[in-house]
Structure 1
């Protein structure tokens, strides 16, 4: 049995970090890491009341840990955890999602409990493989899957992608009626009470948190609430702030009402895929990820998990349709496909992809039917005959981004025109150097012209780059990724800029006819560069329509002395 300590608190007063444990249900303990003085979460998320990072222990016949904590709590958290459980007896580590404030100590848990099986969504396991850089036992789960811990603790997993990362899952314990939701329904609010006893104290922070994190994914919020509908909730165990016991029904209803209001005005793509058929899941999520980078909402619809009336309503609302080909033998999917064809109209964009299951419905006859209706093709059909790989996933990512950019072209023009002309010119006087970022992962590579680049630290040497969320190279610039910053030479850069600024089709070779040599980190160095700097991404900060990517410098070289860097002078400051 696990020894549990009720309401034990350990304080490190110099940094105002505290730990609190509470038995919140039968054989269930919350570990709350209270960060009293944190005043910012990401660049635009100012905090008034600190925050907490919540982790949970469930003891059945088998022992499970739900999420870990932020790395700043490493020593305090691991000391407390090893006082509560014997790590050698830990059977499962359930990862609700892989954002570092919840999974920052996964590698430490693996060191203490190498036998543990990590449980998570497929995307989460893929992200973790890139984060911990070591093999580990894992179990991939999807919506509706169950895990029996014994003693009545039967866990069911609820898919909740984009709340607010693409890999999010909820976990429901049928014995205790506790639903573990990580970021969803949480808030950045730090106080000693474990539960939401006084709603008036927390409701402003609850709404502010929704506006900052969940509102951009309102349609995903509604989908998750729908999947939760069959569950009898006693407690919502959130990843941040107090746990919801007294007011959870009202607060879930607020999420639902806010999200319904938000979805009425947003641009939507309905993406149909075949779950557990070929690589349809992987391809659909890669396309969806590309679309959402442009600020367009995506509704993922499994052919076999929807009703004709729901499909008619979704298609009527959608600005774009993406069709993942179902098996030819799937009569249920074909009935839904007929509904899609009947509801589609000429003002929509359409795109199709094969699922790679070996018995896909043919793409081109269906393509012809949509063209006859008058839909505009957003990108050519993506044809997959075998399992997906990183290269095909990148093609899907880029194709989704192209679709999203096409759907938002009018909005982009309005935003460019909206800013005051005098302010445009003032911002345009901020000058920058000209660079090309190059990166490679395995067999695939990418590049981007950059001008928003600056040295950001001296110890260690570090640089910061602003990267628009809808840039193809964004997926090459996550924590741990490596790239090369190529510095362009004054008077010898126009042809390179012209080449890398042109529009590439999804998956196209961006280095065709460009002379390169490999850097020690594997990324291409442009041979004509004035200098190059090899970098590794250390942190990313979300900043409205851009990511601020901070990277440490590994090595570099200057090719020519006494030659200046090319400089970019803009006329206006609200677009490139």
Structure 2
């Protein structure tokens, strides 16, 4: 039932498919299409099992591994990352691999022992160390904070294969394993959503690591990820996408994210949208409580401008807007320009002030003074909204 996938001679995918996952990282990231937990068997004179799966997927993992080799013949388990979705099944699998050493960096060892309280045999590695398996060798590249302190890549020398763990991955469940099987547009969309919702605040670290790898002068012919599809045809496109994301490259485009009580703020949003479009700038409108947060954040990755709209309730912004701002503060999106608009009853500036403070805390430039309209906008005030959209579009057009 659970068949492995041969990648090339002596190398197999032996992970697990989570068809039903719909939220990740405690409901902070929507996973409409599930995910995979990718694990790889590398067979040479010595045998290495690379990366693990979550605890609930032990049986699936065990069966795929066992259809290639008796787990008792495995010499090394390489733990590139100790987060439970990649390590939860390790305690059970180690019972089937009595001679296997766990190859990990010191941070991963510490994390494994703290989570599972087991006493395994470890071989500690660091950047530049190699593991000789016979004809093939793995070189280790520590990648701290991409996205945990223990994160690590492995490079299969001669073959030019990078085992990238969480980097370049996506949450996408399928029986297909590679980028060229489902189309580049699909994988790039999921790749962007993963980066925006998980890795965005780590962009400076990612830029530095990619530069470090470039200086190593290694040929990367294939990238094998720990989630979703792997990159055998478009590895350079994957790397280039991370460079763009980490630099904060974006298009002259605006995301309008808002909520409304009695549709006054929504009327403002629609007029602002028209004003933006009149300047030849693309824009998308999202009402926050009924839109998917992870998808909005992915779209914001590509957009230079952000407009936040909210009515006032209990001297504050609406809860859906507050939640969105909370996410932005943690993600710290790069090179964004923003402003606030909204309707109010008797507390004119309170929503604008709290929103602008949070935007600044998130590292986002506030370009225009807020637009606040009492109760429902009349015809003249809707014209003000249109002009506000035009002015904001001009801010987005600036280089």
**By the TM > 0.5 criterion, same fold?**
yes
Q: Which residue of 2 aligns with 1:246?
A: 233
Q: Please, which runs of 5 or more residues in structure 2 have no aligned partner?
A: 250-307, 320-325, 332-350, 358-399
How big is the shift at 1:426? 5.8
- What is the Cα deviation at residue 84 of structure 1? 2.2
In structure 1, C-alpha distance between the alignment counterparts of 2:157 and 2:133, rounded to whole Å:
11
8 Å contact kept, 1:65–1:94: yes
SS at match of 1:84: coil
Check if 1:22 corresponds to 2:5.
yes
Using the TM superposition, give the Cα deviation of residue 419 of structure 1 relative to its aligned residue in structure 2, in angstroms: 10
Give 1:52-67 correspondences, 5 Å limit. 52-67=36-51
- Structure 2 counterparts to residues 192-271 of structure 1, below 5 A: 192-197=175-180, 198-229=183-214, 230-261=217-248
Q: Between the two structures, name the one with larger relative contact order (CA 8 Å, sep ≥ 6).
A: 2
Kept in 2: contact 1:30–1:57 (CA 8 A): yes
CA deviation vs aligned residue, 1:107-152 (integer Å, no higher than 9, x gap): 112211232111111110100111221211111111111110112x
Within 5 Å, which residues of 2 pair with 1:12-91? 19-42=2-25, 43-91=27-75
- Structure having the higher strand fraction is 1
Q: State the Cα distance separating 1:164 from its structure 2 match.
A: 0.9
Encode CA deviations 1:178-229: one digit per residue, 9 max, x unaligned.
Answer: 1101110011112222210110222211111111111110112112212322
Are the structure 2 counterparts of residues 93 and 426 from structure 1 closer, same or farther at C-alpha, using a change threshold of 3 Å? same
The aligned residue for residue 168 of structure 1 is 151
SS at match of 2:162: strand
* Structure 1 CA distance for aligned equivalents of residues 318 and 190 of structure 2: 37
- The corresponding residue for 1:107 is 91
Give the structure 1 partner of residue 342 of structure 2: none
Stretch moving more, 161-170 or 109-118: 109-118
Deviations 1:66-109 (A, max 9, x none): 01112221222223323322222211110110111111111112
- The equivalent residue for 2:172 is 189
Q: Helix, strand or coil for the counterpart of 1:52?
A: strand
Aligned pairs for 1:350-389 within 5 A: none
SS at match of 2:231: coil
Secondary structure at the residue paired with 2:4?
strand
Question: What does residue 398 of structure 1 align with?
Answer: none
Match of 1:452 in 2: none
- Structure 1 CA distance for aligned equivalents of residues 8 and 159 of structure 2: 6
Q: Residue 248 of structure 2 aligns to a residue in which SS? A: helix
How far apart, in 2, do the equivalents of 1:424 and 1:171 lie?
Answer: 53
Helix, strand or coil for the counterpart of 1:161? coil
Q: 1:204 and 1:145, CA in 2 relative to 1: closer, same or farther beyond 3 A? A: same
CA contact (8 A) 1:170 1:180 kept: yes
Give the number of aligned pairs: 268
CA distance in 2, matches of 1:243, 1:205: 12
Spell out the pairing of 1:120-519 with structure 2 (5 A cutoff): 120-151=104-135, 153-197=136-180, 198-229=183-214, 230-261=217-248, 422-423=312-313, 425=315
What SS class does the counterpart of residue 49 from structure 2 fall into? Answer: strand
- TM-score for both structures, normalised by structure 1: 0.43
Runs of 4+ in 1 over 6 A off after TM superposition: 418-421, 572-575
Asked whether the equivalents of residues 52 and 241 of structure 1 are also in contact (C-alpha less than 8 Å), the reply is: yes
Equivalent-residue separation in structure 2 for 1:219 and 1:54 (angstroms): 26
Inter-partner Cα distance in structure 2 for 1:223 and 1:115: 37
Q: Which structure has the highest helix share of the two?
A: 2
Give yes or no for contact 2:311–2:318 (8 Å, CA) kept in 1: no
Closer/same/farther in 2, CA of residues 146 and 193 from structure 1, 3 Å limit: same
The answer to whether the 8 Å contact 1:160/1:223 transfers is no
Q: Which whole-Å CA distance do the structure 2 matches of 1:21 and 1:544 have between them?
A: 41
Q: State the Cα distance separating 1:249 from its structure 2 match.
A: 0.4
CA shift for structure 1 position 26: 2.7
Gaps of 5+ in 1: 1-9, 11-18, 263-417, 430-468, 470-541, 547-571
